[in-house]
Amino acid sequence: MPQLPPPVPAAIAVVLRGGCALLVRRANPPDAGRWGFPGGRIEPGETLAAAALRELREETGVEAEAVGVLTALDVLAHDAGGALAHHFVLIAQLCRWRAGEPVAGDDAQEARWVTPEEMAKLDLSDGVAALVHLAAARLGPEAGQ
């Protein structure tokens, strides 16, 4: 039986401000060219909150405060033969914007605040729209500020 790739823990930073979500267009696989939340692998010894905030800074230059875990998602991809190519466990960290405007850095092609209307026209990574709704519900009126 072939060796399966182990699940890889990764953190994503979910930041809402003024009714918009902070999204990046990925430069690298998986999901190259698609829009999603800033994020990446959790480094050894790094907390979930620290990983989410580091990835947010590296990919957008934005500073935020970690509020808490929103949810976790499995991202599984298979090769042409149907074998598991990778398995990421994305842990969505809800974050509160503190400072900065997004500028694409690290492995992001673009970074910007996206309205719900714009989001409907973008090629989004799986689960992005649902996470925006979940974050808005958790933040309540603060999500629109």
CATH code at 49? 3.90.79.10
Q: What pTM does this model have?
A: 0.93
Cβ-based burial of 82 (10 A; exposed 0-12, middle 13-18, buried ≥19): exposed
* Domain contains 124: yes
Note the pLDDT tens digit of each residue in 10-55: 999 999 999 999 999 999 877 889 999 999 999 999 999 999 999 9
Nearest CA to 63 out of 107, 24, 95 is that of: 95
* Domain contains 2: no
The answer to whether 36 and 13 are in contact (CB under 8 A) is no
Residue 92 tokens, joined: 């969505």
Q: How many domains does the chain have?
A: 1
* Domain contains 92: yes
* Domain contains 105: yes
According to the model, what pLDDT value does residue 122 have?
97
* Domain contains 145: no
Confidence of residue 6 (pLDDT cuts 50, 70, 90): very high
According to the model, what pLDDT value does residue 30 have?
78
According to the model, what pLDDT value does residue 20 have?
96
According to the model, what pLDDT value does residue 111 have?
97
Residue/partner pairs of 130-139 with CB below 8 Å, 24 or more apart: 131/14, 131/37, 131/70, 131/71, 131/73, 131/92, 132/14, 132/16, 132/21, 134/70, 134/71, 134/92, 135/14, 135/16, 135/21, 135/70, 135/92, 135/94, 136/16, 138/70, 138/94, 139/16, 139/94
* Domain contains 1: no
* Domain contains 3: no
Domain extent at residue 48: 8-140
According to the model, what pLDDT value does residue 3 have?
86
Comparing 66 with 106, the larger pLDDT belongs to 66
Q: Is the pLDDT of residue 121 over 80?
A: yes
Note the pLDDT tens digit of each residue in 62-104: 999 999 999 999 999 889 999 999 999 999 999 999 999 999 9
Nearest CA to 97 out of 66, 129, 68 is that of: 66
Confidence of residue 1 (pLDDT cuts 50, 70, 90): low
Nearest CA to 128 out of 11, 16, 39, 36 is that of: 36
